[in-house]
Structure 1
């Protein structure tokens, strides 16, 4: 029983550590939003895809595997997940009224916005056409 509890504790610790970044086998990832690293990426002129996500949102859950695959495929693009319930300053700054919004930036310039798209083909095209 103690071995089982130790194993369970280890699994929980790994799961909590993994919350910060969703890694893909090929190296692409979606990282949690951080204002300083986001601003630095913009200042460097990087292409950034922002996923405005809420854990309770079914549309966000449908978008997640599509965006994870895109992050894997587009390794030179920074993918960032903004928490709709926590990152209120980002939402105000970019005038985002709802979760399941996808933004694409080239440096500091927003070049695209998609709201609540869950069709794999359309969402992939939206992102790929802008990066």
Structure 2
């Protein structure tokens, strides 16, 4: 399952373990391609928490993180940003990247 998060709970929701946050918008074509990939990985992987944030409704976090293009995927481990991917990322590549941060 992919949890929708907001500016108000971003820090709390991404503070422990490995968490991938998909920054997206409803009007974004590449975001619509990325979303099913995130959904599939969320079903397959129990070692990563998957979240998403609509940048139109939650502009503060996107601004604070310097997100200028979407989709942007931010990977945090124990509250620290360890990776950032901008643009569509295929499932196999994304899974390989996540493997670097999980035990």
In 2, the alpha carbon distance for the partners of 1:65 and 1:79 equals: 12
Matched residue, 2:6: 34
Cα distance in 1 for partners of 2:40, 2:69 equals 23
Q: 1:78 Cα deviation (Å)? A: 1.9
Task: Report the equivalent of 2:44.
Answer: 73
User: Does the CA-based 8 Å contact 2:55-2:62 persist in structure 1?
Assistant: yes
Q: Max radius of gyration: which structure?
A: 1
1:95 aligns with 2:40: no
Distance 1:130 1:58 in 2: 28
Deviation by residue 1:33-61 (Cα, 9 ceiling, x = unmatched): 13454322444x22210001111111111
CA RMSD of superposed structures (Å): 1.8
- Aligned equivalents of 1:119 and 1:77: distance in 2? 17
Matched residues in 1 for 2:73 and 2:50: separation? 10
- Which blocks of at least 5 consecutive residues in structure 1 are unaligned? 1-28
Please give the secondary structure, in 2, of the residue aligned with 1:52: strand
Query: Is 1:110 paired with 2:81?
Result: yes
**Which runs of 5 or more residues in structure 2 are unaligned?**
none
Aligned structure 1 segments of 4 or more residues deviating by more than 4 angstroms = none
Higher-RCO chain (CA-CA 8 Å, sequence separation at least 6): 2
The structure with the greater share of residues assigned to helix is 1
| Number of residue pairs aligned between Structure 1 and Structure 2 | 102
Is contact 1:49-1:78 (8 Å) kept?
yes
Scaled by the length of structure 2, what TM-score is found?
0.84
